[in-house]
Amino acid sequence: ETPESELLQRVVVDFALEQPANAMWSCFFMLAKRYRRWKRCPTSWCKYGFEWKKPEILLTSLRALNLLPTCQASSPCPHLAQGATEHPRAFGASGPRTVPVAERSLVPGPVN
């Protein structure tokens, strides 16, 4: 082996893959044995101040990553905790509640 290939075997690159919780191909990453070594972090964007729920699952090598839990009745986001019966905006909604594709495809800044 060359010194370069030895170095590549020792290099570790941390990652986080974000996928909608209901995406069919994300099931492959969640269930396949070879991917079980990585942490799965379910969360909802509304927990971080967004007006829409968008449940996500992050597959990551970052073991210390801890995200807010998914929005649900037992652990609601700020919108629902204040008594709202639905999120202010929604995917697939019509009118003022709709979330345009360009907006929902943006990657947010760091969430701390």
**pLDDT tens-place values along the chain, 112 residues long:** 566 667 666 667 888 888 877 776 666 666 667 677 788 899 998 999 888 888 888 888 899 999 999 999 899 999 999 998 888 887 766 677 777 777 766 655 555 5
Q: Say what the pLDDT of residue 68 is.
A: 94
Concatenated DSSP letters of 1-22: --HHHHHHHH-----EEEEETT
Return the structure tokens found at 75.
């652990």
Q: Say what the pLDDT of residue 4 is.
A: 63
Give 51's contacts (C-beta < 8 A, 6+ positions apart).
Answer: 79, 87, 88, 89, 99
Give 91's contacts (C-beta < 8 A, 6+ positions apart).
Answer: 52, 54, 98, 99, 104
Q: Say what the pLDDT of residue 64 is.
A: 92
